[in-house]
Amino acid sequence: MIVVVNVLVIGAHPDDESIGAGGAIAKHIENGDTIFIVLFSVGHTPIQPKLKDQSYDMLNVFGIKKKNLFWLNCKSGNFDLEDKIKINSKLTEIINDIKPKIVYTHFYADTHLDHVFVFNSTMVACRPTHIVRGLKKKSIWASVEKILCYEIPSSTNWSGKLNQPFHPTEFNIISKNNLQTKFDAYSSYSDEVRPGNHPRSIDSLQSLAKYRGNSVGAEYAEAYVLIRNIIYD
């Protein structure tokens, strides 16, 4: 029996969700799961309005409802200047409301410090602790059972933290259609897609998907680092 779950993908900037977990998003939707996305920032100031519009194009490609996208409105490149308690509280509130079973987020040792900030905020918001809600003081357990870190080429692979490499512990085998949906969603951000041999070009991302797939005997896959997996049964 297929169990349908809520899934949350967290990204620092528009396009992170598609690059890091676009194949997983397409596969989850194909399986009937509900996808929610949290983006910490609209992106670089000169093209913010354009990126926000393009993020809604991304939603259309995946078939995600507009109301399932949440913005935390941090200033790109300066997350460390944000009120951490306020941001963590906002993210915690979203998670408590939508109750995702699976969360995808940035890798903790990425070169981009915004990504590291997002990882840390994710871990605060996903703590498996008792939560008191409502006037009746009803106590519930946090919903998140599984946390996975995805990779962002040109950030994850360029990290200078040699003692903390991105060593995948989980591989999600995706179909050619899932991969194409990932690329179509990423291509919504026309100013972000890189050309030629850049790690974030479509050709390079396809090579990465093939490499990750071939690593486990499949055609295509996305790879993640497993942070937590709670098994109840």
Query: Residue range 89-106: average pLDDT?
Result: 96
pLDDT of res. 71: 96
Tell me the torsion sign for CA atoms 8, 12, 18, 24. negative
25-59 per-residue burial string, b: 16 or more CB within 10 A, e: under 16: bbbbbeeebbbbbbbbbbbeeeeeebbeebbeebb
pLDDT of res. 24: 98
Q: Which one is predicted more confidently, 30 or 230?
A: 30
180: buried, middle or exposed (CB in 10 Å: 19+, 13-18, 0-12)?
A: middle
6-229: CATH architecture: 3-Layer(aba) Sandwich (3.40)
Compute CA distances 123 → 106, 119, 175, whole Å.
Answer: 11, 6, 30
pTM over 0.85: yes
pLDDT of res. 45: 58
Quickly count helices (H) and strands (E) in the chain: 6, 9
The pLDDT tens digits for 24-70 are 999 999 999 999 999 999 866 555 678 889 999 999 999 999 999 99
Q: Which one is predicted more confidently, 4 or 67?
A: 67
The secondary structure of residue 216, as a DSSP letter, is T
Q: Rounded mean pLDDT of the chain? A: 90
Whether the pLDDT of residue 134 is over 70: the answer is no
Whether the pLDDT of residue 144 is over 80: the answer is yes
Query: Residue range 87-116: average pLDDT?
Result: 95
Q: How confident is the model at residue 163 (pLDDT cuts 50, 70, 90)?
A: confident
138: buried, middle or exposed (CB in 10 Å: 19+, 13-18, 0-12)?
A: exposed
pLDDT of res. 23: 98
Q: From the centroid of its chain, how far is CA 177? A: 20
Tokens of 32: 């009937």
pLDDT of res. 157: 83
Euclidean distance between the first and the last CA atom of the chain, given in angstroms as a whole number: 15
